[in-house]
Amino acid sequence: MLPGSYYTGLSAVLFVIGVTGVLVRRNPLVIFMSIEVMLNAANLALVGFGAQFGTADGQVLVFFGMTVAAAEVAVGLAIIMAIFRLRRRLSVDDLSAMRW
């Protein structure tokens, strides 16, 4: 059996890839997919920890995380579509109405 730290390390690298995408990219849809990558990394870490402790609790949390991710996709994409319909622009830099 591989030590659990392998899985945790893989998950950390994936999470950071997602963070980079959110910070660097300007298209809201790509930012959205980067968030999915981060959620995936978190799920991987949870399954890894659960396997390390030998309980199914980690997998229950992943189940919850997946459901929340699905809800987030539905609402988030609806918001992005609504913004596109109003603005016809593609960069998050244009969406500065709520900036302080």
Partner 1 sequence: MTLETGAFWGLAAVLLASSLAVVLTRNLFHSVLYLAVAIVATGGVFLLLDAAFLFGVQLLLYAGGVVTIVVFAIMLTERLVGEGIGQTSRYLINGAVVSVAVFVGVLLFVGQAPLPAARRPLGADVTRALGELLLTRYVLAFELLAVLLVTALLGALYLARTDE
Query: Which positions from 22 through 61 interact with partner 1, judged by CB under 8 A?
Result: 23-27, 29-30, 32-34, 36-37, 40, 43-44, 47-57, 59-60
Q: Does 68 bind partner 1 (CB under 8 A)?
A: yes
DSSP per position, 33-81: HHHHHHHHHHHHHHHHHHHHHT-SHHHHHHHHHHHHHHHHHHHHHHHHH
99 binds partner 1 (CB under 8 A): no
DSSP for 9-21, please give it. HHHHHHHHHHHHH
CB of 99 to partner 1, least distance (A): 15
Site membership for partner 1, residue 98 (CB under 8 A): no
Nearer to partner 1, 75 or 100 (CB): 75
Query: What one-character DSSP code corresponds to residue 56?
Result: S
Closer residue to partner 1, CB minimum distance, 74 or 100: 74
**66 forms part of the interface with partner 1 (CB under 8 A):** yes
Give the total of residues touching partner 1 (CB under 8 A): 73
Q: What is the DSSP letter of 92?
A: G
Using CB under 8 A as the binding rule, whether residue 95 contacts partner 1 is answered as: no
80, 28 Cβ separation under 8 angstroms: yes
